[in-house]
């Protein structure tokens, strides 16, 4: 899988350390990822895809979501070309951190339309209540109405649904019964089975105490009971708690036919591989950043080549743990940074000005770890673009 170039010909960048010193760093040779055209994976694999901002928009980036729609959809086509599905307009696309509901709906419509023109493309789209402010005046009926509004819009364009966690529901709910009421009402009326997303408070602090319980295991009881009552309308549940043990416990409790989708960007390789009792499918933000490696690893898994599966995935785990370190909600900055380094977009600008969400040293370490994992497809381009970022921060690299 190694390239044919000589190490001495690889570019060198002077990288800052925590003491402000610059040290020369020579990039590794790029990897080429082995894929079998048309090969089906043994797991459902969805990449939660990022958003490409429009850097030339006159809109105030803190107030208005200015999106480069062409570049954003082009990245979805790239993911589909690797055999990955797309989880659209979710947390990785800055939903609730710059992307509002009208813009999210536009994104969903464009993505669903593009998927129709791409043979085999899969897309699930996030439905939430983000048109509501999570205020004390919000009622349970308001939450139900907001979910219904978004479901109607997504189903009208032919989209499949990921039912996202609701900040407004946390504010309005008085007990687990309120969660059962809301989810029961929604699940009874959707056209097709959907994916329920339990997004932990490490990704969004406003979701602390979801399912009406402060303890995750007690909350799991509530969630599993809701799913069991409506199993025919639930394709699966995505668990984003960054806790391998809790995910394994939950997936063993799910009704037959209901999938567990890992949202654990720390332990995804083990959870997808599974054990003698079961396994997880994937709906992951990190798959946006490691897409070619994820595709190759899942293809190796489908061939039964577990040595290759682990050899590919293992060096991506340090990168993922770095990108998703606390405060986890800013992981999107690293995701977009890597897309910029790899030439998938022409700039490092984000909706809401979120390119400032991580420090320069965090980005430099992401660069190192991506290089170690073989994920910088054009080292010369990546080095040049990193130098540009360093110069903006006053570092002569």
Q: Over the stretch 246-301, which tens digit does the pLDDT of each residue have?
A: 999 999 999 999 999 999 999 999 999 999 999 999 999 999 999 999 999 999 99
Nearest to 352 by CA among 97, 90, 51, 72: 97
DSSP 68-109: -HHHHHHHHHHHHHTT-EEEESSGGGTBTTTB-HHHHHHHHH
In a domain, 279, yes or no: yes
In a domain, 385, yes or no: no
Residue 5: the pLDDT is 46
Provide φ and ψ at 368, rounded to 5°.
-60, -45
Look up the pTM and report it. 0.95
For residue 117 the two structure tokens come to 């023109």
State how far the Cα of 80 lies from the Cα of 75, in Å rounded to an integer. 9
In a domain, 348, yes or no: no
Question: Which distant-in-sequence residues (6+ apart) come within 8 Å of 180 by Cβ?
Answer: 222, 225, 226, 229
DSSP 221-287: HHHHHHHHHTGGGEEEEEEESS-HHHHHHHHTTSPTTPEEEE--TTTHHHHHH-BTTB--EEEESHH
State how far the Cα of 52 lies from the Cα of 385, in Å rounded to an integer. 17
In a domain, 82, yes or no: yes
Question: Which distant-in-sequence residues (6+ apart) come within 8 Å of 257 by Cβ?
Answer: 231
State how far the Cα of 294 lies from the Cα of 311, in Å rounded to an integer. 11
Residue 9: the pLDDT is 87
In a domain, 230, yes or no: yes
Residue 299: the pLDDT is 95
Let me know: does 31 contact 1? Beta carbons within 8 Å: yes
Quote the domain boundaries for residue 64.
41-330
CA quadruple 214, 217, 222, 226: dihedral, nearest 10: 130
For the chain, the helix, strand and coil percentages under 3-state DSSP, each to the nearest 5: 50, 15, 40
In a domain, 115, yes or no: yes
- Residue 105 sits in a domain whose CATH number is 3.20.20.70
Residue 39: the pLDDT is 73
In a domain, 292, yes or no: yes
Let me know: does 228 contact 222? Beta carbons within 8 Å: no
Let me know: does 3 contact 29? Beta carbons within 8 Å: yes
Question: Tokens 């995910």 belong to which residue?
Answer: 247
Q: What is the mean pLDDT of the chain?
A: 95
Total number of domains constituting the chain: 1
> Mean pLDDT in runs of 10 for the chain (397 residues)?
59 93 95 76 98 96 93 98 97 95 97 96 97 89 98 98 97 97 98 97 95 97 98 98 97 98 98 97 98 96 97 98 97 98 98 96 98 97 98 89
In a domain, 102, yes or no: yes
């Amino acid at each position: 899988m190694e390239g044919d170039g000589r190490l001495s010909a690889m570019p060198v960048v002077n990288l800052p350390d925590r003491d402000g010193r610059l040290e020369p760093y020579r990039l590794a040779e790029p990897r080429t990822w082995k894929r079998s055209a048309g090969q089906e994976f043994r797991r459902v694999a969805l990449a939660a895809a990022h958003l490409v901002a429009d850097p030339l928009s006159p809109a105030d980036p803190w107030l208005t979501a200015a999106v480069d729609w062409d570049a954003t959809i082009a990245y979805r086509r790239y993911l589909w070309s690797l055999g990955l599905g797309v989880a659209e307009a979710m947390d990785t696309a800055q939903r609730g951190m710059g992307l509002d509901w009208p813009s999210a709906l536009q994104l969903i419509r464009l993505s669903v339309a593009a998927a129709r023109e791409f043979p085999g493309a899969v897309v699930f789209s996030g439905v939430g209540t983000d048109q509501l402010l999570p205020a004390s005046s919000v009622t349970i009926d308001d939450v139900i109405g907001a979910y219904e509004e978004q479901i109607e819009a997504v189903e009208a364009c032919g989209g499949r649904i990921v039912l996202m966690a609701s900040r407004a529901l946390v504010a309005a709910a008085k007990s687990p019964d309120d969660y059962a009421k809301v989810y029961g009402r929604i699940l009874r009326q959707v056209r097709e089975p959907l994916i329920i997303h339990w997004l932990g408070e490490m990704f969004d602090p406003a979701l602390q105490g979801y399912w009406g319980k402060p303890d995750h295991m007690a909350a799991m009881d509530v969630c599993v009971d809701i799913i069991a009552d409506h199993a025919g309308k639930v394709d699966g549940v995505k668990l984003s708690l960054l806790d391998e043990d809790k995910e394994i416990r939950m997936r063993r409790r799910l009704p037959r036919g209901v999938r567990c989708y890992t949202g654990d960007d720390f332990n995804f390789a083990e959870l997808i591989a599974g054990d003698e009792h079961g396994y997880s499918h994937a709906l992951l933000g990190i798959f946006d950043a490691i897409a070619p490696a994820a595709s190759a690893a899942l293809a190796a898994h489908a061939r039964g080549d577990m040595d290759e599966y682990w050899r590919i995935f293992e060096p991506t785990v340090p990168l993922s743990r770095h990108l998703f370190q606390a405060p986890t909600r800013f992981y999107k900055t690293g995701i977009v940074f890597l897309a910029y380094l790899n030439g998938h977009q022409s700039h490092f600008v984000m909706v809401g000005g979120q390119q400032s969400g991580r420090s320069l040293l965090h980005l430099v370490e992401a660069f190192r770890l991506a290089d170690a994992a073989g994920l910088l497809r054009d080292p010369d381009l990546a080095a040049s673009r990193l130098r540009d970022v360093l110069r903006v921060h006053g570092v002569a690299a």
